[in-house]
Amino acid sequence: MKKFMLLFFLSFAVQANDSTSWNRIILSGGSHIMIGFVPPDLIQAETLNIFIEGDGEPGIALKLAQESAGHSVYIGRPCQYLKATRFNSCNRELWTSHRYSQAVVDSMDLAITEIKQRYKAENIRLVGYSGGGAIASIIASKRGDVALLVTVAGNLDHRWWTDFNASDPLYGSLNPVDFSAALEAVPQVHLIGDHDFVVPGSVLMSYLSKFKSREKVKSYLVGGADHTCCWSMAVAAVLHQ
């Protein structure tokens, strides 16, 4: 695949954390409520790594956060970890056509601001997994405090992605490719798995094709990674730099 560097992280050892040791927090985002998890020993961080979960069943981005380098926290998407009957904001559209809607993006943005203020961070690094990569990218285009945007198997052009999968279009969702002008100013690293057939590299290539300048953009093809497996060392290595 052109314009990618094949990256194998064979010597970078990462010590996994026990998921039960992280504290659960509730984050209010206006239209939606999010659940987050933070390490109990985190008090303050100049630079905060904020991991954003993907679509559907949560857990992968949380694992990545717990195995990453630096000061890291995790934010689930609206209605993850919550019963659908508990809040009126939980509905079918939220996980289909409107998964990256303006209301969802605004709610996640408010939650990010809240958690940044809580830990007195000067700047943040957004790490989005799968659909969380779409959310992270759109938010990064609007903020001035994002030191780095990292996407992992990111759905960075959902129009291309739904065409590729012959699935229903996400007509109620914002699309990262529509924010390419603002994103050109954001330092970013995109990781794609060489065995990922859910969000293939062509999605990233479509996203990159909208950029006039890629001076601040790096992308890596991670050997042995599929959509759900084997990302931890790659992500930790990027954040360790």
pLDDT for 15 equals 34
Q: For residue 160, give the CATH number of its domain.
A: 3.40.50.1820
pLDDT for 2 equals 37
* CA count, 13 A, side-chain hemisphere, 110: 17
Residue 218 above 70 pLDDT? Answer: yes
Strand segments, DSSP code E, in the chain are 5-7, 23-28, 33-38, 47-52, 72-75, 123-129, 146-152, 188-193, 217-222
Locate 40 and state its tokens: 């109990």
The residue ranking higher by pLDDT, 7 or 82, is 82
CB atoms within 10 A of CB 120: 11
**Boundaries of domain holding 225:** 5-240
In the block, which residue shows the tokens 């933070």? 38
Average pLDDT, rounded, for the chain: 88
Give residue-wise pLDDT tens across range 170-198.
Answer: 999 999 999 999 999 999 999 999 999 99
Residue 214 above 80 pLDDT? Answer: yes
Q: Which amino acid is at 98?
A: H
pLDDT for 240 equals 86
Q: How many domains does the chain have?
A: 1
Give residue-wise pLDDT tens across range 6-46.
Answer: 343 322 333 334 445 899 999 987 888 899 999 999 999 99
Helix/strand/coil for 232? helix
pLDDT for 18 equals 45
Locate 217 and state its tokens: 């953009």
Give the pLDDT band of residue 227 (cuts 50, 70, 90).
Answer: very high
In the block, which residue shows the tokens 């239209």? 31
Give residue-wise pLDDT tens across range 98-137.
Answer: 999 999 999 999 999 999 999 999 999 999 999 999 999 9
**Whole-number Å distance between alpha carbons of 234 and 225:** 10
